[in-house]
Copies of this chain bind each other. A is one copy, B any other.
């Protein structure tokens, strides 16, 4: 695994494409999140699916987080290998091999998992795993999750049949709400999720099933969940980096504004005409599922089209045109899948490479 840069190198010497982490902006984002929660008892459990890097997870915990979330067992393994002692797999884990790996991991760290199906609970019960088990509620995302109310209670009773599984609470994440542009519409979506959570908690209490933790929320809404009072823990991921898609959201109080900390460094590899430049970073260097990357602080340059290994930059009339060989910083359209394309963060401060952090959960799909 070739290291993409060397410590002490100046930014302009780093070969491309490279995934850059601006350490000042990253540290500011850690601080901004914690500051926004001042006076609240809500716990922070950032989502490590965004960064896939124990170095970052450790810094999130040092800043005040209780642990991290992952989406995959193999991601959780990478976090535990990297020294993280408390990991919630905020997802269903289905299949004998994955459950065996989860059980193995549960002997090395505090591990949580989500469920939405009685068969799956039976399989977890049979595995001898010692797990915190959260019932995933469907709160508007229309993906996984069980309906609020009685269906959730039925699952809680299934969990209670086991001595090794501990019912830990509810997973209530409204993924679709995160990228709704208008804050007012995001607020409406989270209010609906809140009603689902509260209805379910009331039913659980009535049936003497205390519900220790309600966990969920992402970077695009988390202050709405915090202010609702219905959540005990939040799971923001993208706040450490931000991306071009999140930047299109309306950011207003109570949500703080996070800084762009993640960039793809690219080189102009062709200047076939006055109105366009081709960079060496295409869709294998910056995920395009949520739109094209944007060109950082270069007015009039528009990343218009990506092919596998090329990006087409349109140069507006009158804009400063980049020369052949010039390097351009791109803000990825979507940070999570972009990170998953790289093995290293090239960590830069004040224009100098300060560290190289391995993305040890890159490609951790299982």
Interface residues of A in 262-312 (CB under 8 A from B): 267-272, 276, 278, 280-281, 283-285, 287-289, 306-310, 312
A7 at the interface (CB under 8 A from B): no
A343 at the interface (CB under 8 A from B): yes
Task: Find chain B residues with CB under 8 A from A325 CB.
Answer: 94-95, 119
A173 to chain B, nearest CB (A): 11
Interface residues of A in 227-279 (CB under 8 A from B): 267-272, 276, 278
Task: Find chain B residues with CB under 8 A from A17 CB.
Answer: 365-366
Q: Which of A284, A285, A366 has the most CB of B within 10 A?
A: A284
A45 at the interface (CB under 8 A from B): no
Task: Find chain B residues with CB under 8 A from A120 CB.
Answer: 324
Residues of A within 8 A of B (CB-CB), count? 62
Interface residues of A in 38-75 (CB under 8 A from B): 49, 71-72, 74
Contact between chains at A278 and B337 (CB < 8 Å):
no
Q: Which of A2, A4, A310, A363 has the most CB of B within 10 A?
A: A363
A87 at the interface (CB under 8 A from B): no
Summarize A's interface: helix, strand, loop or mixed: loop
Task: Find chain B residues with CB under 8 A from A340 CB.
Answer: 284, 341
Q: Which of B95, B119, B343 contacts A267 (CB 8 A)?
A: B95
Contact between chains at A97 and B324 (CB < 8 Å):
no
A138 at the interface (CB under 8 A from B): yes
Contact between chains at A98 and B366 (CB < 8 Å):
no
A80 to chain B, nearest CB (A): 14
Task: Find chain B residues with CB under 8 A from A285 CB.
Answer: 365
Contact between chains at A272 and B15 (CB < 8 Å):
no
Q: Which of B71, B116, B284 contacts A272 (CB 8 A)?
A: B116
Query: CA separation between A97 and B12, bound complex, in Å?
Result: 12
Q: Which of B49, B142, B271, B309 contacts A71 (CB 8 A)?
A: B309
Q: Which of B15, B94, B142, B175 contacts A280 (CB 8 A)?
A: B94
A332 at the interface (CB under 8 A from B): no
Task: Find chain B residues with CB under 8 A from A366 CB.
Answer: 4, 15-18
The 8 A CB mask of A70-92 against B (1 = contact, 0 = none) is 01101000000000000000011
A286 to chain B, nearest CB (A): 10
Contact between chains at B341 and A270 (CB < 8 Å):
no
Contact between chains at A144 and B284 (CB < 8 Å):
no
Query: CA separation between A91 and B280, bound complex, in Å?
Result: 10
Task: Find chain B residues with CB under 8 A from A95 CB.
Answer: 15-16, 267, 325
The 8 A CB mask of A1-23 against B (1 = contact, 0 = none) is 01010000000000111100000
8 interchain residue pairs of minimum CB distance: A144-B270, A94-B269, A71-B309, A15-B97, A17-B365, A92-B269, A283-B289, A284-B340
Give the B-binding residues of A (Cβ under 8 A): 2, 4, 15-18, 49, 71-72, 74, 91-95, 97-98, 116-117, 119-120, 138, 142-146, 175, 267-272, 276, 278, 280-281, 283-285, 287-289, 306-310, 312, 324-325, 336-337, 340-343, 362-363, 365-366
Question: What are 27 A-to-B residue pairs whose CB atoms are below 8 Å?
Answer: A2-B74, A15-B95, A16-B366, A17-B366, A18-B366, A71-B308, A91-B309, A94-B268, A94-B269, A94-B280, A95-B267, A119-B325, A120-B324, A142-B312, A144-B270, A144-B278, A145-B270, A283-B337, A284-B340, A284-B365, A285-B365, A289-B289, A308-B336, A340-B341, A341-B365, A342-B363, A343-B363
